[in-house]
Amino acid sequence: MADGDLVGRFARRLRLFDSNADGIVRRRDVVAVAERLVRAFRVDGQSIGAERIRTAYEMLSLSMLADFGDLARDEVAVPGFTAALAADPARMAGLGRRIARTDALAVRECLAPIGDAVKAEHVAEVIVVLGAHPGHQPVIQQALERDGALIRLATAIRPFADHFTGSGYPALYGRP
């Protein structure tokens, strides 16, 4: 896969955090995702699972700010973000691992009440709450169904990790 395509995947994921679509992702936008997940999937707000989700997205926001953002303004501009990723493949790989771990943790915690294995449609629902367009849910679900009907929560990181290395799941977060 060309690096430009891979950078596009990262930019698309970053834009899912952009709550007002102005090309700027604020720390509060990333943190708000955690609260949306907890509410949407009725994770007990005082539970360890809810705290894991909140902490994971808080740490992701701080990491993105430190590596790509304006710390004084608590924000990351999408154009600067994509330029920095394109210039440094090692940073891109590190961020990909961090996002994959965070989003996979959200899937595991939000869908844990269902059981050890879940349908692709359930994982697609989590991705829509992460910020993907609801109209893209069938595309996301189809991308996830390539490996079979059920997805084991213990291995839920694989689609996310593959997405950010460019080795699969191009429609994981919806249509480009």
Question: Which residues neighbour 162 within 8 Å (Cβ) at sequence distance 6 or greater?
Answer: 168, 169
Residue 146 pLDDT? 79
Which residue has better confidence, 164 or 1? 164
Question: Which residues neighbour 25 within 8 Å (Cβ) at sequence distance 6 or greater?
Answer: 14, 15, 17, 18, 64, 75, 76, 78, 81
Average pLDDT of span 161-165: 94
- Is 1 a residue whose pLDDT tops 50? no
- Is 2 a residue whose pLDDT tops 90? no
Q: What is residue 76's three-state secondary structure?
A: strand
pLDDT confidence tier of residue 93, bands split at 50, 70 and 90: very high
Reported as a single tens digit per residue, the pLDDT across 96-153 is 999 999 999 999 999 999 999 999 999 999 999 999 999 999 999 999 997 777 999 9
- Is 4 a residue whose pLDDT tops 60? no
Cβ count within 10 A of residue 96: 22
- Is 75 a residue whose pLDDT tops 70? yes
β-bridge pairing 75-77 and 24-26: antiparallel
Tell me which of 3.40.50.620, 2.60.40.10, 2.40.50.100, 1.10.238.10 is the CATH number of domain 3-165.
1.10.238.10
